Amino acid sequence: MRATFAGIMPFWHEQLDRWQQAWRNEGLPALPRVSLTPPDRQGILTFNIFPLLSHFRGNAQAAAEAVLRPIPHIQHSEVIKGFLNLHFSVEFWRDFLTAVLERAEQGYTRTAIAQQEHLMIEYPSPNTNKPLHLGHLRNLCMGESVSRLWERLGARVVRANLVNDRGIHISKSMLGWKKFFAPLTPETARKKGDHFVGDCYVAFEKAYKEQVDALLAQGMPESEALIQAPLFQEAQHLLRLWEKGDPETLHLWKTMNDWVYAGFDATFARLGIRFDKVYYESQTYTEGKKIVEQGLQAGLFYRAEDGSAWADLSAEGLGQKILLRRDGTSVYITQDLGTADLKFRDYPTLTRSVYVIGNEQDHHMRVLIALLRRLGRTWADKVYHLSYGMVELPTGRMKTREGTVVDADDLLEEMHARAYELTDPNLPEEERHAIAEAVGQGALRFYLLRTDPSKNIVFDPAESIDLKGFTGPFLQYGYVRAQRLYEKATQSHLPPNPSPYAETLHPIEESLLQQLYALPSFLESAATTYNPALLAHYGYELTRRFNELYQNLPVLHAEKAVGAFRLMLVVAYQKAIGAVLEALAIPLPAKM
RNA sequence: GCACCCGUAGCUCAAUUGGAUAGAGCACCAGACUUCGGAUCUGGCGGUUGGGGGUUCGAGUCCUCCCGGGUGCGCCA
């Protein structure tokens, strides 16, 4: 159901419903595709009527007439090849701008088209042995933006985080602490908790590698050396102690995890991200084991001779998948089964369960969904893997060993420092830092969101902190400019007026209106395709057109009727870009 | 070996999902009125869309075969 507004439907997505209904009633053989007219062509909207031509015996004019019949407020239209381009009348734009003014939050920057949707969006699901890095930042920015996009369509969203707090990697950190850092704590070491634990992990890995190298030098094959190294044996022993519930091990485990959570929370807070629900793998894996046992009894899975549990997914083209080790302990997919169940038990009304996870787990997620189907979970088809590409450096992939991992906290600091240099030295220190934080994050977050999620991105530090061109600060600057202009107009008692001052608009005005008009459809497609990059491109193009107007057409220094109308365009732009930035989770600076 | 993803200007990315003359940013070059904030705006340079074949009114997009890069694939999480 789409909202109605006193019979006037000035927004694209609202009009489209009505037009399509009329076209069906008229018996058109196919519905024409509607799109924005490209900038180098005359028009606002373009209808692709090529598919209709055969029905009208090649008479393009007749086809165009049929398409145009239900569309009011057309000023002018023309047919070129299979394309029908139209301009709206100034009355249409008056209605459009009036509607923007009166109900920007209901039908324009926010709609109700996904009111029935209830989503859980899981991100970023970190391991607890290392601090967050650049890859997590991409995940966090994307998860947050997709959440906000759906909320703008009226959906309810549960932001969920799944903490991987269990497994051999934690044992390694614990051993690292015992051997090289005890009795230090993050406080006494003056380190953020997640970084402190990360140091423990790295110290372990370094010592472990030395042992492996020594064994290799003795002529032991690598596969064996990795297992025979004393430190690895100790780590496995510690993991078994943990599973048995050894009090001392559990205490250390809990203490170190709390250090990590404190560190994570600080980073999440800096990014303005909070979660409605947190799952811990240590609590969900037992649930997963139960599910596997049930599946075995039901004959959906099978036991191998050594006692390990398996699923045969060869019919789905996914081969054999192990579900429990021969000693009965769980593997990663086991807890995933448990967590998936818990999600729908905790929130039975979910219509979509989204996992924001890197594309290296494409296969894993396919297996998970296939297993859920096999288990007869009716909601299995509601599970969606929002897969995204890796973040690489110009020198290649980030590698822990080579120390090329870009730390999230360090990067946020660097962005802040870089932006701070460009702030006005005459401002109070506190304000300079507030602006630097907004602009620094704006640059980084836009940079991480502007590329199609499925593609890998190459993180060029120099380019990411750029403030010119296709960047976050470009959009922020447009927002600030519009804000300032509006304030000045208010001071000089110039109110915005949606009524055009003439029968024909300036091409620059019309170009901005065209882009403003398309906002709801971009919000819709960005959300439903889980692709914030669409909105990033939209916001850039919108701001480019606004800057064009700002630079070339006077507002405060124009005739009163002209200025009042242009001010209305400024106001509409400001509402639109504000919504875009909010949906991308990019901060809105008051000044910059 | 098998599966999936990717390949577009020097670099980073688009292309309304099969539609018009493949567009932006960065970089480089040349410009912007004694007006609203120059983190801006206006031009210019830059392409055999990795390659061949096919499908049709029409292909960067679809099918196929190569080339190149990436990620996974029975006990890491």
> Distance of CA A376 to CAs A126, A294, A350, A370, A382, Å?
29, 12, 17, 10, 13
Backbone conformation region of residue A72, classed left if phi is above 0, alpha if psi is from -120 to 50, else beta: beta
Residue A3 has pLDDT above 60, yes or no: no
Nucleotide nearest to A397 (CA to C1'): B70
**How many angstroms is C1' of B1 away from CA of A319?**
15
Nucleotide nearest to A37 (CA to C1'): B16
**How many angstroms is C1' of B6 away from CA of A389?**
10
CA-based nearest residue to A439, from A477, A410, A401: A477
Do residues A242 and A250 lie in contact, with contact meaning Cβ atoms separated by under 8 Å?
Answer: yes
Most confident option among A63-67, A174-178, A390-394: A174-178
**ipTM of this predicted structure:** 0.95
Domain assignments of chain A as residue spans, ordered by start: 12-88, 165-275
CA-based nearest residue to A287, from A339, A346, A364: A339
Average pLDDT of the segment spanning A20-46? 89
**pLDDT of A1:** 37
Nucleotide nearest to A566 (CA to C1'): B36
- A50-109 pLDDT, tens per residue? 888 888 888 888 999 999 999 989 999 999 888 999 999 999 999 999 999 999 999 999
For strands A309-313 and A74-80, give the pairing.
unpaired
Comparing A396 with A327, the larger pLDDT belongs to A327
Cβ burial of A248 (10 Å; 0-12, 13-18, 19+) is exposed
Nucleotide nearest to A335 (CA to C1'): B77
- The three-class DSSP label of residue A3 is coil
Do residues A109 and A576 lie in contact, with contact meaning Cβ atoms separated by under 8 Å?
Answer: yes
Instruction: Find and give the residue nearest to B76, measured CA to C1'.
Output: A168
Could you give the angle at which helices A560-583 and A134-152 cross, rounded to 10 degrees? 120
pLDDT > 90: percent of chain A: 78
Count the Cβ atoms, other than its own, within 10 Å of residue A8.
15
Q: For residues A449 and A457, give the distance between their C-alpha atoms in angstroms, rounded to a whole number.
A: 10
Beta-carbon contacts of A245 under 8 Å, excluding residues fewer than 6 positions away, are none
Comparing A316 with A386, the larger pLDDT belongs to A386
Residue A561 has pLDDT above 80, yes or no: yes
**Considering Cα of A251, then A252, then A255, then A257, what sign does the dihedral take?**
negative
**How many angstroms is C1' of B47 away from CA of A440?**
35
Average pLDDT of the segment spanning A458-485? 91
- What are residue A309's phi and psi, to 5 degrees? -105, 140
DSSP A220-267: --HHHHHHHSHHHHHHHHHHHHHHHT-HHHHHHHHHHHHHHHHHHHHH
**pLDDT of A58:** 80
**pLDDT of A589:** 95
Q: For residues A206 and A386, give the distance between their C-alpha atoms in angstroms, rounded to a whole number.
A: 34
Residue A194 has pLDDT above 90, yes or no: yes
Residue A450 has pLDDT above 70, yes or no: yes
**How many angstroms is C1' of B32 away from CA of A577?**
26
**How many angstroms is C1' of B70 away from CA of A27?**
49
Q: Scanning the structure block, which residue is given the tokens 């193009």?
A: A541
**How many angstroms is C1' of B51 away from CA of A139?**
36
**pLDDT of A373:** 94
**pLDDT of A580:** 98
Nucleotide nearest to A363 (CA to C1'): B72
For strands A319-324 and A352-358, give the pairing.
unpaired
CA-based nearest residue to A445, from A355, A515, A546, A535: A535
Residue A7 has pLDDT above 70, yes or no: no
**How many angstroms is C1' of B36 away from CA of A563?**
11
CA-based nearest residue to A390, from A399, A382, A381: A399
Instruction: Find and give the residue nearest to B70, measured CA to C1'.
Output: A456
**pLDDT of A465:** 84
What's the mean pLDDT when you consider all of chain A?
Answer: 92
**pLDDT of A155:** 98
Q: For residues A456 and A49, give the distance between their C-alpha atoms in angstroms, rounded to a whole number.
A: 36
User: Using 50, 70 and 90 to split pLDDT, how confident is the model at A291?
Assistant: very high
Nucleotide nearest to A508 (CA to C1'): B41
Residue A123: what residue type? Y
Instruction: Identify the weakest region by mean pLDDT among A37-41, A190-194, A435-439.
Output: A37-41
Could you give the angle at which helices A532-552 and A472-491 cross, rounded to 10 degrees? 40
Average pLDDT of the segment spanning A208-221? 90
Residue A4 has pLDDT above 50, yes or no: no
> Distance of CA A384 to CAs A279, A346, A366, A415, Å?
18, 18, 10, 33
**How many angstroms is C1' of B18 away from CA of A360?**
31
- B chain positions with any atom within 7 Å of a protein CB: 3-7, 11-17, 19-21, 23-27, 32-33, 35-42, 57, 70-77
- A500-540 pLDDT, tens per residue? 999 999 999 999 999 999 999 999 999 999 999 999 999 99
**pLDDT of A221:** 85
Task: Look up the CATH superfamily of A12-88.
Answer: Arginyl tRNA synthetase N-terminal domain (3.30.1360.70)
